[in-house]
Structure formats: C-alpha cells, structure tokens
Structure 1
Amino acid sequence: MRADRLVSLVLMLRRRGRLSAATLARELEVSTRTVLRDIEALSAAGVPVYAERGRHGGFALLPGFQTELTGLNHDEALALLVAGSRRGAQVFGLGSALASAMLKVVDALPEDYRDTAADAAQRLLIDPETDLLSRRVAAEEIPDTIVAEVRRAVFAGHKLRIHYAAVDQAPKWRTVDPIGLVTVHDQGYLLATMSGADRTYRLSRVMAAEELDEPAQRPDRVDLDRAWQQRSTQFRTGGDQVAVLVRVDPARRDELTATALAVRSEETDADGWLRLEATFQDPRHAEWALWQLATNAEALAPQWLRTSLRDRAVAIASCYEEAP
C-alpha cells in the first residue's frame, strides 16, 4: 500500500507541480504526518523532492526530473479495463483511441495481473445499452469530424466557430471561447463563453465546427465540476419558469418531486393526498411532468395547465373511441 502511495505522490507532483502537505494528504486520503514521512522516504531514495517555505509553499520536484513509473496494481488495471466499457469516450470521439489504449495497457501488464484483471472486468458491467425493461438508452449521434474539431479547440485554447441549432431556432454561426467538455448520461456538452458571458452548448446540436487560430479568452486553469454546477444552477433558475399547485397520490410523490426544479410548499389534504406547490422549467416541462402521473395527480392551478392537460386527454380518448 505504501509503495502505491509513494508512486501516486510522485505522479501528482510531476503533473501538478508544487502542492502543500494538506493538499497531498487530502488527495491521498492520509494524514499530513504520513505525507511528511513519505516525502522523507522519497528523498532518502534519491527522488529530488524539495520543500518551499512560506504562505504559498509546499513540496515540488526539481525541474526536468523524469522517471519511469509504469507499474500498475490489480485494482488500477481493473479500473482502466472497466473504463473502456463506458460510453463517455464515444461522446467525445475517443472510442477508437480508448480501445487502442486498452490493448496497450493489457499487453503491458504482468501475465498474472493480465489474466485476473481481464476475468474480473468481465464480471462488471457499467451503463448497459438497455435497462431492465429492455428500453434502449438513446445515444447521441455526433459526427467524429465535428467533435474532433471541438476537442482540438478546447485542448489548444483557440476560439471556435460553431454552426449551432438551439431549440426552436434556426441554426446560426457563433464564435465562442471554449472552456471544457462535459458528458452527462451519454449527452455531451461544450462549456464556453461568448463575449464574456457563460454559454453551454449541446454537442448533438452542433451542425459544423471550425477551430480558429485566434487564442481563446479564458483562464489558464478551470474547475470543470464547479463550472458545471454553476451552469446547472443558472439553468434551473432561469428561463420561463412556472409555479404549479398540484394534488398528488403520496405513492407517486417522489416521481413528481424528482422532475420538478423545486417544491416550495407541501401539505396533506383530508383524503390523504398531498398538495404541493412545485416549480418547473417552463410550461412544456410542467405539462409533461403532470401527464406522466395520469390520474395519480391533478393540477389545480394555473388554469392554462388544467386546460392543456384536459385537451390532450380528450384528443387521445377520441382516437380510441369504439367504432359505431
């Protein structure tokens, strides 16, 4: 275990530069005292790690230090093999590259690791293409040429021209400063800014893309997880949100609250049903959510939602009227 931790410590310093003892302890899930002992062990073994004092100090490797750290333990090899079954690489156009990398990793493993890791990987399945009801998970179709152009601009830090089709709008060209790529449930997104304002683009709606030579206006470092959380919050609190007063069967409450943006109030009626005031992204979202619950929920307000649900029900009922 300690040998693995020492290797991880050196790799972190090589990749990220100077790091404090507290940061190293948090990343390695050990105490700062353990980190200090590990630093001493590395120094004794001839690894040129040194300490920098001061408020922004920490530990770093001498510039230009190189070493071969190719050893993988069984769990690390298994993690790489399992990663090969995930479809995120497909979203970003890296499917063939990942498959090639997996072959190289497997070939480099010691023979005993290779056999046991491959056998263990066969017993783990991540994100299958269908669920228990045999419903096929819809994967986005994104041309490799488009996603490759987007990916190059993101990695190179260049501006990007995209021909983008927003919802209910005709496609138009936009020049953006790409920040990063995110995949959520097999859906790819480009995080960018345009004229300094945050923008999020669905990759499947990019009709064409062109990397430009001009450098992108963006920070050198980015916390994509934090950026995504901020975009998610903006999405939930923006747009044409609507508040709906609804009665719902307690057995279906969780289905309603899972799709709503927020539940502002909740109380129990005399018959045991729940009366909730819920917020939805827009009118279409509210109508869709209530329709899924059929007669297990009733929209009480606003009136336009009641009318819309009634008209939809009447239209469907008329399709199934018995012939005279």
Structure 2
Amino acid sequence: MRADRLVSLVLLLRQRGRLSAAALARELEVSTRTVLRDVEALSAAGVPVYAERGRHGGYALLPGFRTELAGLNHDEALALLVAGSRRGAQAFGLGSALASAMLKVVDALPESYRDTAADAARRLLIDPETDLLSRRVVATEEVPDAVATEIRRAVFAGRKLRIHYAAADQAPKWRTVDPIGLVTVRGQGYLLATRSGADRTYRLARVLAAEALDEAAQRPDGIDLDRAWQERSTRFRTGGDQVAVLVRVNPARRADLAGTALAVRAEETDADGWLRLEVTFQDARHAEWALWQLTTDAEALAPQWLRTSLRDRAAAIAARYGTSP
C-alpha cells in the first residue's frame, strides 16, 4: 500500500507541479505527517523531490524528472474497468485505487497529449451530486476498505466468505456464504451469493466485517451476472409484504408515480382525463411516502387505511401551520 502511495505522490508532483504537504495529504487521504515521511523516503531513494519554503511553498520535483513507475496494479486495473461510474468504484471500495490509476494513465500519455487530455477531462462532468432541480443524488454508501477487500478477494478467488451482516431490523449475525458476484446500483453495492444452496443478496453497506475463507465456494464456473440480477430483482418486486393500491393521478405526474412504484398492474383513463392505475409498492410505508410526494396530483382510492393515513398526515400538517409561529 505504501509503495502505491509513493508512486501516486511522485505522479501528483509531476502532473501538478508544486504542492503543499496539506494538499498532498488531501489527495492521498493521509495525514501531513505521513506525507513528510513519504517525502523523506523518496529523497533517500534518489527521487529528486525538494521543498520550497514560504507562503506559496511546497514540494516539487526537479524539472525534467520522469519515472517509469506507471504500471497499474490489480486493484487499479479493476477500478478502471468499473470506472464508467466513479460511484461504482466507490461502492466496491475501489475509490482510492481509481484515483491512483487515473494518475498513472495520465502520466503514461505522451507529453504532447497530456495537456489536451487534462483540458478535455475538465470539460466532462459525470454523476454530479445534484440534478438541475438542486436535488441531491443518493450518496454512495461507504464500505470500509478492509471489508471491501475481503469480499472482492473471496469473489475473485472463488472462496467461501464469512460475513457479519446487519439485516434490516435484525441484530447482526455471522453468515458463511458462497459469493457469486458484485453489483452496484445508484451508488449502492450488493453481493450476490448463495447460502446452503439458496440465492441470497446482501447490501455491502450492511456488512460489518468479512473474512475470505480457504474453502472453495460452491458455485458454477460461469455466471451471467446481469441475468442473475434481473431474476433476483423480479423476485424481490413480487415477494414480501407488498401493497396493491388503486390511485387516480394527473397524467402529467404518471411518470413520477410509475418511477416510484414497483409495478403498474392496470391502467385506464377516467372521463375527466385523469388516469386510474393499479400499482404495487414494497410495503405500507413505501406506498404512503410515494403518494405523499405527489400532493394533490394523485388520490389513493384504495385501500382505505392508506386514504386514512394520508388524511391524518395532511391534517397534522394543516394544524401545525394553522396558527402564527
């Protein structure tokens, strides 16, 4: 790990020129004391890094210095393969590896291309934190590096995996599973596995600890991960404590309703132009939340408990704002 960090430090100085210890610490996600020790180690190894004092000082390399240490390690190459979305790399615990790999990619470019590539990169923004309406995108869930590393090791080596998993509304338990693959959806990472031969899907952010075992996993040699994910998604949508709701909705908000529901089972148009849909939600809380977002552009017709719940919530809001603060 330290060798990769030293290479990243050199590449940062090559590509950005003089940088302060604080700036290097931020980029490398370490303390300034670690940066100082790394600089000393580089100097002892013959890398011409020197310090400039003063308000605008920092560390720099002697002009013309070039290193041939741009080879990608395993995690960096893997990070580039999932780099279609930076959130995807982060969901699998590969965020720092992606940053390191991109430094090496830029350094490997011919000097004549380096400036134009850097300028082009500044003109592309992928997955910003907010959309045009200033709504924050769902944040990528953080997975501790040690946990993510063990999970990846078990998946790629085909070994059984022992995880300490905190399922929703349950106390954490240790489980031994046969890992099949990893999936990231909108910044959330999932482990597809089997347990005692039955399909299981685990949310990576709920894995508190993980240990790759020496025993070989029981799983087929080949896997169509996209198909496996689609099958599990279908089972998820059609199982559990799902709620069927009959709702009238303004046609302009139909896409919003369909986007939050698990499925649209039936649809027809009323005489006034509004749409009457039969939709399913994951549970009662999901149904109430989805209909509340649509305000007066939708009306739950059935079941009655949902109408009552929405009415009571609206009455409580009206009472809160019925008097001056």
Structure-2-length-normalised TM-score: 0.70
The alpha-carbon deviation at position 84 of structure 1 amounts to 8.1
| Alignment match, 1:125 | 125
Are the aligned partners of 1:181 and 1:190 in contact in 2 as well (CA < 8 Å)?
yes
Q: Secondary structure at the match of 2:246?
A: strand
In structure 2, relative to structure 1, the CA distance for the partners of 1:164 and 1:92 (3 Å cut) is same
CA contact (8 A) 2:83 2:89 kept: no
Which residue of the partner structure matches residue 301 of structure 1?
302
For residues 235 and 201 of structure 2, the distance between their equivalents in structure 1, rounded to whole angstroms, comes to: 11
Residue 276 of structure 2 corresponds to 275
After the TM superposition, which residues 1-324 of structure 1 pair with which residues of structure 2 at under 5 Å, given as runs? Answer: 83=83, 86-137=86-137, 138-323=139-324
Q: Report the CA distance between 1:284 and its aligned residue.
A: 1.7
Structure 2: distance between partners of 1:86 and 1:201: 21
In the alignment, is the contact (CA less than 8 A) between 1:164 and 1:173 conserved in 2? yes
Give the deviation of 1:118 after TM superposition. Answer: 2.3
The 8 Å contact of residues 182 and 188 in structure 1, kept in 2 or not, is answered as: yes
* Equivalent residues, number: 246
Does the 8 Å CA contact 1:166/1:205 hold for their aligned counterparts?
A: yes
Q: CA separation of 1:277/1:82 partners in 2, compared to 1, >3 Å: closer, same or farther? A: closer
- The 3 A distance-change label for structure 1 pair 81 and 168 is closer
1:179, distance to aligned residue in structure 2 (A): 0.8
Q: Which amino acid aligns with 2:133?
A: L
Q: Distance in 1 between matches of 2:213 and 2:245?
A: 46
Q: Residue 263 of structure 1: CA displacement?
A: 1.7
Paired residues of 1:188 and 1:202 also in contact (CA < 8 A): yes
- The question of whether the paired residues in 2 share the 8 Å contact of 1:84 and 1:102 is answered with no
State the Cα distance separating 1:134 from its structure 2 match: 3.2
Runs of 4+ with deviation above 6 angstroms: none
Contact 2:90 2:140 (8 Å CA) reproduced: no
Deviation for aligned residue 1:323: 5.0
Q: SS of the counterpart of 2:93? A: coil
| Unmatched tracts of structure 1, length 5 or more | 1-79
The answer on whether the counterparts of 1:82 and 1:124 sit within 8 Å (CA) in structure 2 is: no
- 2:39 corresponds to: none
Residue aligned with 1:181, SS:
strand
Q: How big is the shift at 1:85?
A: 7.0
Contact kept? 1:162, 1:207, Cα under 8 Å = yes
SS of residue matched to 1:245: strand
CA distance in 2, matches of 1:82, 1:230: 22
Aligned sequence identity (%): 84
What displacement does 1:82 show?
A: 11
Q: Please list the CA deviations of residues 268-299 of structure 1 after superposition, one character each: whole Å capped at 9, or x if unmatched.
A: 22222211111222222211111111111111
Residues in 1 aligned to 2:322 and 2:87: alpha-carbon distance in whole angstroms: 44
Q: Compared with structure 1, are the counterparts of its residues 241 and 220 closer, same or farther at alpha carbon in structure 2 (3 Å cutoff)?
A: same
| TM-score normalised by the chain length of structure 1 | 0.71
- The one-letter code sitting in structure 2 at the alignment partner of 1:102 is M
Residue 321 (structure 1) shift? 2.6
Tell me: CA distance 1:151–1:82, structure 2 relative to 1, closer, same or farther (3 Å).
closer
Task: Report the 3-state secondary structure (helix = DSSP H, G, I; strand = E; otherwise coil) of the residue aligned with 2:86.
Answer: coil
Query: RMSD of the TM alignment (CA)?
Result: 2.2
TM-aligned CA distance change 1:119 to 1:83, over 3 Å: farther
Offset at residue 255 of structure 1 (A): 0.8
Gaps of 5+ in 2: 1-79
Which position in structure 1 is the counterpart of 2:43? Answer: none
**Structure 1 residue matching 2:220: 3-state secondary structure:** coil
